[in-house]
Every structure is written in structure tokens, then in C-alpha cells.
Structure 1
């Protein structure tokens, strides 16, 4: 029996009365599930001591920030304070772009960068202000007057400011030890602390100069802005970077206690460079200052750039050498090692990920692999302690999850559409029913049978130089 306009009863997809069934047989069966949402990355493990240090650190930052704000509101009118803040954003933007360029290979955690910036802007500035008040008060008590400004600029300021900024970098090393891998990281964190300090200090200088210009009509704001914002936006960065580089080597060679010695070693060139700049501002005037700037400060700045370039190149070599070790036991293919250890390879990977809607997954994969390489570097260079081994295991877990996200198809199978009831085509007995096409629905290509997927055991897979965890 059949109804007009409907196929014979009993045809696939139709009930005995010739009407389409609610759940027709699917026209295609995937060999395996076409999509499985990757589980979220496990939250980074942070020890109790780090959590306590972070909490105490942000509390201290909050107290100092409030004190510095009260000081500025008392010293400068609000309108001038806002105008000076806008001017101070110019050198800050220049420095932040420089930090971003240096930090692209292995980006540091935002929380660590925020901590570093706020330490420089609040604690380092507040410490310098407190010491200045104490010194001025002591000079007034003992009646010392002559040469106090020169002493403050050439001796007091370099020691106090570099000590406070450098201690912020040391705290970052202690609290964020897992992410502090070497000299380049030291430069990044030191530059971030210095950026926060210079930003607030520039607000003070610009604000006081605007007040003097309005009161006395001296018109010195242009000169101060050119010297501080355009000629020396990286001045504080260069000084504190000396301490950062020293602490970067400490991160590879010693523990938290040993880093204190590297901190004092790094302070020596930082203080000397700072004193050299402040001394020039005190002794060299008029056109002679610009000659000094070209002959002394510009070469120092170029030398610092060359140092950072060399350190960045070393980072790439470390990434390649350590990932080759993991590749030898199946964690990476040779092409992946080449992609992860070269700038050109990473750019190509990002372009591919953007076209295929996998930008976030590719970013996670590259970041995790790079951190894994530097964790391995710590182990190879003699810091094969329990914490480093644990970090390595966690990063391998994260790498597996990141790879799974990259291997998932971009288009997921979300089910069949609701059937549309109504007159259908006529089919006789034994006729072949064509495959149904669903609006917008696509199926990914079948996987390569020889391709390894997360969760599969690679032949001979193990940790480089160690046994895998028993839970794998």
C-alpha cells in the first residue's frame, strides 16, 4: 500500500503509512567522533609560599600606592596632575612597545608583569620619596646645606631607586619562579618595574614644571619633556636591566637564597649608570649636554640593544636544542621542532591557525612548548630538583591537551536537522536513495590511519632522561 506522492510502505525512513519517520537512518557514519571539546588546561600550581608572597606583595603595593596618591594630590592641583599624567603616557607607551618586542618569544604571565609594574610605580617611588624626606629632615637638623642637591642626585637617588626597583625584580623571581627562566625574562621584568617607576616619576617632574611655568612664566616644560620623554625614555630601563640580567642568570644557576648575591652584583652597574646620567644633568649644561648624550648615552643604549639581541638569539638556540631532545622520544616531529624554534616557523604556524580558526589553540601550543624547553634547560644545567621535574610533568600534560585542541576539526558535527514533513519524491522498490545534504553541515576529512592522536602511546615514549609518571 502506498499513498500518492509517497514511496512504498516499508521504504527506509518511512513508516508503514508512507510518512517520513521522525528519526531517519543517518546517511553517513563517521569512523570516530568528529569532535571532542578539549578539557581546560589545569590551573597552574602555585606553592603556599608563593601565594603568601603574592598576597603580601600586593598588600604592600596597595599601601604605598595610596600614600603616593595622597602625596601627589597635596603637592599638585588635580588639573595639573591630570595634564602631567597625559604627558607621562608618551614615554610609557614607547617603553611598553619595547618590552612587548623583547617578550614576544616567551611571553610572561600578565599577573607577574602587573605585579612588576605596580611595584615600580608604587613601592619604588614611595621608597624614594620616604628616603628623600628623611634625608632632607636630617640635613635641616644638622644644618647641612651646600652640596645636598648634588649628593641627592648622584649618590642618594641611584642607590635608593635602583635598590628598590631591583628588589621588585628579586621578588618576581621568588614568587614567579616557574616563569623566570633566564636573562631575557630578567630584562622584561626589570624593564616593567622601571616603566612603572619612570611613569610616576615623570608625572612628578612634568607636574612641578607646569606649576613653575604657570607661576613664574619660565617656559621650561618643553625642555623637560624632550629630555625625559624623548631622549631618555629607556634610561631607567637600562639601569634596572643590569639587575634583571644578573637575576636571570641566578634563575638558571642557583636557588632563592643564592639569587640575593646576584641581586647585589647587578646593582653595581645599575647604580653606576644611573649616577652617570644624573651627574651629567648636574655638571653638563647647554649644548654640551647634547654632545655628551650623543657620545656617551647613545652608545650605551646601542650596547644594551645588542645585548638583548644576543640574549634573544640564545633563547632560540635553547628552544631548539631542548625540543630536539623531546622530539627524539616522540613528543615532537622534526617539522614541529623547526616551527617552534624559528621566528619564520612561528609566523607560518600563526597564519595557518588564523585561516583554520585555531589561533588560540596554536598560541597555547607554542607557549607551552617554549616553557617546556626552558624548564628542560633548568634541569640540564643542574637544577634537576623535585620542583623542576614536577613542572616538566605538568607542562607535558598541558602540551598533550594543547595538541588535542589543534587536532580537533574546526567544524563539529552537531546533529541532524529536524525532518521536514510533506510530499516527498517517488521511489520504486530497489531504487537507491541519494545521500541527504544538510544546510551548512560539513564533515571533516577522514584521519590518516598512521597519525598519532593525544592519548595514544608513542613507541618508546618517555621523558628525556627520566621515566614517565606512573599515572600515564
Structure 2
């Protein structure tokens, strides 16, 4: 494949998934400039995370469990969570629970997209292998972003449970990301039998959270009231 074809195939899944979750916002879409900014920040954090992970590998070794949960999952999800929390949690545009999902997915897919580009060029990937990565790591990062953003939205709009949901907004993505990586590492020859059910579960779980977040939007009530007045 040509360089342009590889680059397009590596970038397209992340952009398509971001567009999908952006358009799932039923009541008040977020400023596209802010979403793009978060996506680009997600791209940029790939570099410090790579350096940190290399240091952790030297210090902790490459045991599959340690690698999956402490070297891969924890740094990646923490950096993403840090960005989403400090850039958007008190932002005026974060005015409904679903917004947290949009912002967390944007950062997650920025990270996943550059990671996918590196993989494509460093491993000489075929188009079919890039499509497999679209189904696995790229969409996996999107699912982890949905979990993170859902609980950030709950943390902001249920003040009595803020601490609980802030903890869940980091702990759940770290846990499921670790499970994802650990499953891949332990089932290299038979990964499809484990990953298809896991990804199906994560997608169904994420879509339920998308619907719940939209259902809790204060703008939903306002829209209904406006329709009644008309």
C-alpha cells in the first residue's frame, strides 16, 4: 500500500468513531473546536506515555499481568483522565452528562489514532490488519472513553456522589483496559474466541451508558417544555 493509503486507513477508524459519538449527542452538540482540541491533546500525550512505559518496563519487567494493568492501562488511562478532567470538568460547555462522553472519547481516540499510525508504519501493516485494529484497540479506546466520560458526567451532575464517580471514571477504564490487554497477551493464537465476546460486551455496555447519559440531560426537559409551549 502507498503511504497515503496506510495513513488514511490508520486515521479513518478513530475519526469515524469520534464522529459517531459526537453525533449521538441528542440535545446540544459540543463546540467542535473544543472536541478537536481534546483529540489533538490525545495525540500529543502518546509521546510522554511512551517514555514512561519504557521506563516502567525496565523497572517492572514484562510479566503479562503487570504489563497489562500497570504499564499499559494505568498510565494511558490516567493521562487521558487528567486531560479531560482539568480541561473540561468546569468548562461552561460541559452542561449535560453526555458531554463527558464526547470529551473523553475525543481524547481517547486522539491517543488511539496516533498509536494506530505508529503501528501501521512500524509493522508494515496490511489493510486487513488495520481493520482488525479498528475493531480491537481503536474501538477499545473509544469504549474506555465512554466509561470515563459517563462517570465524569455523573460526578458533575450528581454532586452528592462526586467523589464516587470521579473514582469510577478512572478505575473502570483502567480495569477494563487491563482486562483487554491481558486477554490479548494470554490468547495470542485464539484471540478471536475471547475478544469478540469481550468487545461485544463492551459495546453493548457503552451504548447503554450513551442512552442513559442522554436520558439524564437537563436540556431534554427544556426541549420538551418548549415543544409543549409551541
TM-score (norm 1): 0.44
From 110, 115, 140, the equivalent of 2:32 is 110
1:134 counterpart = 2:55: yes
Could you report, residue by residue, the CA deviation over 1:14-53 in whole angstroms, capped at 9, with x for unpaired residues? xxxxxxxxxxxxxxxxxxxxxxxxxxxxxxxxxxxxxxxx
Distance, in Å, in 1 between the alignment partners of 2:76 and 2:64 is: 16
Match for residue 319 of structure 1?
Answer: 219
Match for residue 273 of structure 1?
Answer: 176
1:106-255 equivalence runs, <5 A:
106-123=28-45, 125-136=46-57, 138-139=58-59, 147=62, 151-174=66-89, 176=91, 178-210=92-124, 221-222=126-127, 224-254=129-159
Could you report, residue by residue, the CA deviation over 1:46-80 in whole angstroms, capped at 9, with x for unpaired residues? xxxxxxxxxxxxxxxxxxxxxxxxxxxxxxxxx85
Change (3 A) 1:200 1:234: same
| Ranges in structure 2 where 5+ consecutive residues have no aligned partner | none
Could you report, residue by residue, the CA deviation over 1:73-114 in whole angstroms, capped at 9, with x for unpaired residues? xxxxxx85x554222122123212312321242110123212
Distance, in Å, in 1 between the alignment partners of 2:129 and 2:77 is: 22
1:297 counterpart = 2:202: no
Change (3 A) 1:254 1:88: same
1:319-338 equivalence runs, <5 A:
319-322=219-222, 334-336=228-230
SS at structure 2 position matched to 1:240? helix
Change (3 A) 1:207 1:251: same
Distance, in Å, in 2 between the alignment partners of 1:174 and 1:313 is: 20
SS at structure 2 position matched to 1:106? coil
Count of paired positions: 229
Match for residue 93 of structure 1?
Answer: 15
Residue 199 of structure 1: how far off its partner (Å): 0.6
Radius of gyration: which is bigger? 1
SS at structure 2 position matched to 1:233? helix
TM-score (norm 2): 0.85
Change (3 A) 1:294 1:164: same
Distance, in Å, in 2 between the alignment partners of 1:284 and 1:223 is: 20
Match for residue 283 of structure 1?
Answer: 186
Q: Is the 8 A contact 1:121 1:200 kept in 2?
A: yes
Match for residue 389 of structure 1?
Answer: none
Distance, in Å, in 2 between the alignment partners of 1:312 and 1:192 is: 17
Q: Is the 8 A contact 2:56 2:71 kept in 1?
A: no
Residue 277 of structure 1: how far off its partner (Å): 0.9
More helix by share: 2
